[in-house]
Structures are given as C-alpha cells and as structure tokens.
Chain A
C-alpha cells in the first residue's frame, strides 16, 4: 500500500474527529421547560442525566457511522495506492532488453522496447511513490543486448532512473542476459560509500523486461537472495521471416561481375512465400522469377530441436562497381523488418601486389601464375632489414608471403605464413608435430573454396595453441593446421607447415588455396572484405597516414565525427544498427567513402514470438502481465464507501427522528 498524501488525511482526521467526539461527549445546552409531569415522557426518554458539562460516552450508531465516514474521507484524502504486492523494498535492478527482437512493433504500433521503457517508467514511479511511510528502494538500471551496460548504478533518486531509461537506444544486436546479470551482481558486491560498515545487503529483485528470446538463457541462474520478475514484451504469435546470411562470389573472367547468395529463414508455424529482390547501390537489379517458398518452422525429430524453415537462393551475375553496395531484400512484410534486408559491400576484383619473402621455387611459381599485378621477392634477412629501417615499406604490397621465414619483427600488414614461426600475439607456438593429417575443415570458408585436403599428409608442422580470437580453418589430427588472425588492422593466414614438408604441392588444392589466400588477403587489405559484420561489432578501418578525423554515418543517416589518433588502427563502432554504415574522410583534397555493411545474421534473434515463462536454471519464472497497471488508486472507492456510509447514517437518523 502506498500513500501519496498521507499528511492531508492525518490533518483532516485530526481536525474533525476530536470535535465530533466532543459533540457527543459535551452535553447539549437545552432550554428548560416546566411540564406538569415527566411521567409520560420518561417512557421514551433519551437522556435522563445529571446537569453536568460532560456526559458518559455511549455507543451510538450515528456516532459510529459518522466516525466511519470521516475516516473513509480522510483515507481517501491520503490517496492510497494499491500496489497489489508489487512494491519492493531494498534493491531493485531493472534489466531492459534492447536487442533486435525488441524492435518488433506489436499491435499498438509501439515497439517492444518502447513499451518496456514505458512500463519501466511506471515501475520506477511505483517504487518511488511510497510517500512518507516507506523507504525508497535502491534502483539500478541495466540495458543489455549483445553486451550489458549499466546506465544508472544503485540510486535512491527516481529522476536518475528515469533518465537512464530514457537513454536506452534500440539496437539490432543479439541478446545476452548472462553479462547483464554478472554486471548487476558485481555492483551488488561494491560497498556503498555512504553506508560504511553497514551489513552487506543480499536481497535483490531483478525486474526483467524482454521478449524472452535470449541466446544464453541456459547459462543464467537465479542465485540465493535474488528474486526475478519477468515482464514479457510482445506477442507470442509475432511473425517473422528474414535473411539469415548472404554472400557475394566473384565470377572468374569478369572481375566486376558477382554472384549473390542468400539464406532465407522462416520462423513462423506456417510456410512462407515471398518475393526476393536484389538491389545494387540503391537500384533494383534483379527479382527471383517465382519468388521463394520457405517451409514452416517446427521441431526436427532427428535433431530433437526446434528449427526454422530454411531455403537458399542465388542471383545470377550482376555487375558491381568497386565498393558497391549489394542488398538482398525479402519483400514479404512481417513483424521484424530489421532482418528483411541484408547489405554487403562487394569487394571489387583488383590485381594484387605480392611480396615473396624467402619463397621456394614452387611457391614463387604458383604466385607468379596467379592474376596478380606484381610479384616481388626478397630474402628473409633483407625483409627484416627493410622493415626495421622503414616499417611502412610493406604498405606498398597487398599480400606478403612468408615462406618458411621467421622474422623477428612483423609490422601490421596482410601475411600468408607458410611454415615457420612468426611473432604474432596469441599464436603460441610450442613445438613441432610430425606425421599430421587433416581431421576437419571449414569447407565453406572462402580460403577453402575448391580445396580438398582429404589426401593431405604433413611430415612436420609447427604446434600451435592459438588464442580464442584466432580462427582455425583446418584442424589437423593433433592441432590446428591453417588459421586466420586479425592483428593490428592487418590480417594473416597462417599455415602451420611448410608445403615442402607435405604432399600438398602435388595436389590441385594447393594452387586453389594459394589463389584463395592471395585474393582473401588482398580483399581484406582493401577493407571491402566479406563477410558483413554483425550488429555490435567494431570495424577496423585503415586510413592514409595523416588523417585526423573521419565522419561515421549510421544507416539512418545520423553523422558522427570521430577524431583519429592512429590512422593505421582506427576502429569504429560498436555498430549497433543493421544496415550500411559509411566512413568518410578527406584524402588529398578529395572526399573518400568506405561503406561498412552490418547485418543481423543470428537466426536466434529472428524468432520474435514472445516467451511467456522463462526457464532460469531450475527455476521457472512466470511472466507478469500488465506491468504496473495493477497498481491502482483506491481513493474513488473510499469516497464511494464514505458516501454510502453517509446515506446509511441519514437513513438511521430519519428512522430515529
């Protein structure tokens, strides 16, 4: 129970109840009248008393009803609010989901995030509306999507919580609740500087506004002392289909022509038919002739899992200019428009300049056979000398092939490492393996296109224990064989063995791999590389030396100036909105633009139907429907009751008179 204006009620009661009681205690000053005899009056006499100022308080229905009426009016004036058990005391953490699925518009035209913010505002009002008789709780506001952010630490100031809720911006990121819980718990451990020496508070209420589509829900548990209130946002029947992935493949022979592939998923219970369009640089270039039929989502009996319906489509060749924007659009409207488009920045084919360091004849022969612009060759010692003297020397080359070379210093660049150990953070070489064969490989990776490693046999390879951010493309029988790593604005493809220590040079896949690697690294070097990044990622951009500032423009056209301290290592982001971002800068008096495509590529975020009950560890948290609408003002009912009591009092009075 919350009292908005308790003082007013107390004042009214104090001002009216004592006089009313006094009226009943004080005797009425009646005029005297002599009668022949009081004999006949005493039979229905009310008062037969001594002549004194005060009289004994007697039970009177009229008095009881009048006291009741005044009490009801005083209570109404105090404006009680029925919280119906919603008001918490102590600590409350407001966790608000701002992931891509929270951008779904439901029936009332508001997005789930807008509705969540509105309910959170109401909740803050309810928590801080306790008035004189209850202590305001400490409220913390955390928003989360791919990452969690504390917008307001524990505070007893309502305005701070309101401001924090207002500051929540929508994103197209995936959802991770575990980080948000960890973050909130870490703040609970921090002692309050205003309460030095106070006992540690353990109880906390976690108020969660989300649609329940949380990727890492299995990792979240409710700890002792925590209670969770889940406010499900949106509708359990929300519909969505979208583009889960897309790619661009350059066609041989016509460097400016590309083929476009897309993976379309349907998260609905019914099959979907939709048109699919291909737009290039804002112009419609192709439409699938018969549209696409995507099967319905459902439980896959074989895998014992709920899976969305999926279909892959491809567009024949389209011509794309360098840095052109290719966009696949799903025409069928649904509740989540963010994943109905996926943009990519096509990497234009351009001949690469290749530097061979200590290359063997076989490698040199293969590279020279590739459609590259130039091939230079230096020895390992010469490379070390030149780099030490002039670190920017290698910027003149798109790809550096280190064939067995192990230089002591490796400036940022794009490297194809064939055997040997290179000084790269996180690579962690620790010895040598012998007689290694291929165990698994990412066949879909661009590096392994048309590459078959089934027959690969490696006599001697460097043993690596790579860090988690280094991607293993080919896994050997006893460790990684081929890896990719992004370091310092550069890119490296590391082959753990010297091709001459294997049977690879005698296989067709070796030449294809070399071509893929040069193309991959060269495209990476021109920063129009595939794949498209996901929302929340940061994008490294290499700028010409001397660049001091760039302008980052969001997909919605909102520009933001960014100061550049190191042109070779500018990271922009995190880019939280799906779409095409652009980075502009001035170079030699001309404006240059670098587009960055960001797309929602997580199938889990595509399922937008609301989860009504959350499974947190072993605990099932039931959704609280209606938010704080259950908190209602009681004063109208009290006033009605007071009027009813007054009517009753009037009837009793009439009956007595």
Chain B
C-alpha cells in the first residue's frame, strides 16, 4: 500500500457511489465479440448451447425440433421456436503496471491507474463478465482471477488497494504469463506508462495474437508532457524512480525541445506498433477525470458502450 497521503485507502476512495451509478449503464464490448454476435443472428450450433432466453420466432422447416416451445404449441397450436442469447464467456483482463515509474506525477499515475481499473472492473463485474486483474512490477506478479458479478467488487477493490508501485515492471514476462493463462476470448486493458527500457513491443506482441482484444492505455503525467512548465529548470541530477540511475542534465530550452521530440517519438512508435498488431492505443493524460475517461473517452474508442 502506498504511503502517500493522497493515495486511496478504501474501496470507496477508488470508486464512489455516483460514479458506480453512472457506470451501471455501461458494458464492456469487444470488437471480436461483436463480430461473433453478428454471426449469431443466424442459425448456429453454438446458439443452442446457450441457456439465456432471448425471443421466440415461428418454426421453419429445418429448425431443430429440440428448441420448439411445446407449451405454446399446446396453447396456440402453432410451432414456435425459443431463441436463446448466445452466451459467450467474455473475459475482462486488467493488466496494471505496478513499476516504480507509475508512482510519480500529480495526479499520481499509479493511483489513477487503480481508479480506472476499479471503474473498468466494476463495469465488467456488473455485466457478469469474467474479470481478471494482474499486477506486475518490482513486487512481483500478482494475479486476481475468476471474478464475476457485482458482489465481487469489493474483492477487486481490496486487491487494488493492496498493490504498490515499485521497481522494474517486468512487462514482457507479465504479458507472456497472462497470455499463457488465457481463458476464453476477451478484452484486455493494459494500464501503464509504457516507459520500459526494453520496450513494450515484445510484451504486447505476446498478448496481441492470443484472442485478446487489447487496449493499451498509456498514462501520461502532466510533468511528463511538459516538464518545463512544471518547474524543471537549471542544472539538475535526475534520479530514475525505478532503478535509481542518475542523469545530470542542464535544462535549457534546447534540452526541453529535445525531450519533447523524444516523448513524441516514443508515443508515435508505440502507436504505430499497436496499429500494426490490432491493438488500440489510447494515450491518457492523468489530468482527465476518471468518469470523463470512461463515459466519454473510452466510449468513443469503442471499449465501452
């Protein structure tokens, strides 16, 4: 648990009532699942396997007689077929970067990531998706799987509160582990700043081709976007929050300009990679309110509806 004063201490501080009320109307969507539903409108072998009633329709020749509602036939003497919703077991996987670089910025990137994860997890739980959460960082790999239903909200919240940000991310290993333990198809949301010395490509590549509809939410602190506007000037010694490496810099307009170009290049490279792998890259400034992010920003990106 983080020792910062403004760090969330309770589940209510991760997600409050009004937000939960607004999130109740949302559901997680998957571009890949949507394609399946379109196919489901046809006769399908998989439809019969579902138990959730959807509708009736008149019998036509060739329909499986097993789905005829005999009760209606008894009352109306007409053959109707019972239609059931296809029940695809949707997994919502939340991968949260718990490395040291996340515990930085105002607002704190780690706190922001936990709040977003809590909100997304809540949406998944409310909609009876199978929600899994994975924390990876210097403290190790922490999985939380098999959550379903609103009543597991607190479990998810407590798990998030227990996470701390420190050390190296171990992103590649974490992604590979998640990919190997996949259960069904689903949506995977990676919450990270993607500041990995070895790059994020290898890790994302391991999850992109495994049936996940991957969303990469790149959290960006305002100090990272424009360090010059946040008092970073003069001769400084930078200390890396992950590995403690020191860098001596003389902050000049030239240096700030070069840093800005490096930031853009880093984000552009990540986005290009994501586009090539069918991953949705969403840069998220941490100054964006969580409700606005979910209700507006991510809905426009098709993650929620």
Indicate whether B235 reaches chain A with its CB closer than 8 angstroms.
yes
Residues of B within 8 A of A32 (CB): 236-237, 239
Over the window 236-254 of chain B, the binary record of Cβ atoms lying under 8 Å from chain A Cβ atoms (1 yes, 0 no) is 1111111001111110111
Q: How many whole Å from A22's CB to the nearest CB in chain B?
A: 17
Indicate whether A590 reaches chain B with its CB closer than 8 angstroms.
no
Contact A47 B249 (CB under 8 A): yes
Given contacts A36-B195, A37-B241, A38-B238, contact A48 B263 (CB under 8 A): no
Residues of A within 8 A of B27 (CB): none
Contact A31 B266 (CB under 8 A): no
CA distance A28 to B250 in the complex (A): 10
CA distance A49 to B253 in the complex (A): 22
- List B53-89 residues whose CB lies under 8 Å from chain A: none
CA distance A37 to B221 in the complex (A): 12
Q: How many whole Å from A31's CB to the nearest CB in chain B?
A: 6
Residues of A within 8 A of B102 (CB): 36
Residues of B within 8 A of A33 (CB): 232, 236-239
Q: How many whole Å from A38's CB to the nearest CB in chain B?
A: 4
Indicate whether B138 reaches chain A with its CB closer than 8 angstroms.
no
CA distance A48 to B197 in the complex (A): 16
Given contacts A30-B235, A51-B246, contact A38 B240 (CB under 8 A): yes
Given contacts A36-B241, A47-B248, A48-B247, contact A31 B263 (CB under 8 A): no
The DSSP consensus for interface residues of chain B is mixed
Residues of A within 8 A of B223 (CB): 36
Given contacts A46-B250, A47-B248, contact A39 B197 (CB under 8 A): yes
Contact A45 B241 (CB under 8 A): no
Q: How many whole Å from B286's CB to the nearest CB in chain A?
A: 11
- List B180-231 residues whose CB lies under 8 Å from chain A: 193, 195-197, 221, 223-224
* A44, A49, A51 interface centre (most CB from chain B within 10 Å): A44
Contact B195 A39 (CB under 8 A): yes
Given contacts A38-B240, A40-B262, contact A657 B248 (CB under 8 A): no
Given contacts A35-B104, A35-B240, A36-B224, contact A44 B258 (CB under 8 A): yes
Contact B262 A30 (CB under 8 A): no
Partner of A36, one of B193, B232, B248, B262: B193
Contact A34 B236 (CB under 8 A): no
Contact B239 A44 (CB under 8 A): no
| Closest B residue, CB atoms, query A34 | B239
Given contacts A39-B197, A657-B253, contact A49 B241 (CB under 8 A): no
| Closest B residue, CB atoms, query A37 | B195
* A37, A41, A51, A656 interface centre (most CB from chain B within 10 Å): A37
Partner of A37, one of B101, B234, B235: B101
Q: How many whole Å from A63's CB to the nearest CB in chain B?
A: 15
| Closest A residue, CB atoms, query B247 | A38
Indicate whether B259 reaches chain A with its CB closer than 8 angstroms.
yes
| Closest B residue, CB atoms, query A51 | B246
Residues of A within 8 A of B104 (CB): 34-36
* A36, A39, A46 interface centre (most CB from chain B within 10 Å): A36
| Closest A residue, CB atoms, query B250 | A46
Over the window 31-70 of chain A, the binary record of Cβ atoms lying under 8 Å from chain B Cβ atoms (1 yes, 0 no) is 1111111111111111111010000000000000000000
CA distance A49 to B255 in the complex (A): 18
Residues of B within 8 A of A38 (CB): 238-240, 245-247
Indicate whether B105 reaches chain A with its CB closer than 8 angstroms.
yes
Interfacial residues, chain B to chain A (CB-CB below 8 A):
101-102, 104-105, 109, 193, 195-197, 221, 223-224, 232, 234-242, 245-250, 252-255, 258-259, 262-263, 266
A and B contact pairs by CB, cutoff 8 A, 7 listed: A32-B236, A35-B239, A36-B102, A39-B195, A40-B195, A40-B266, A41-B262
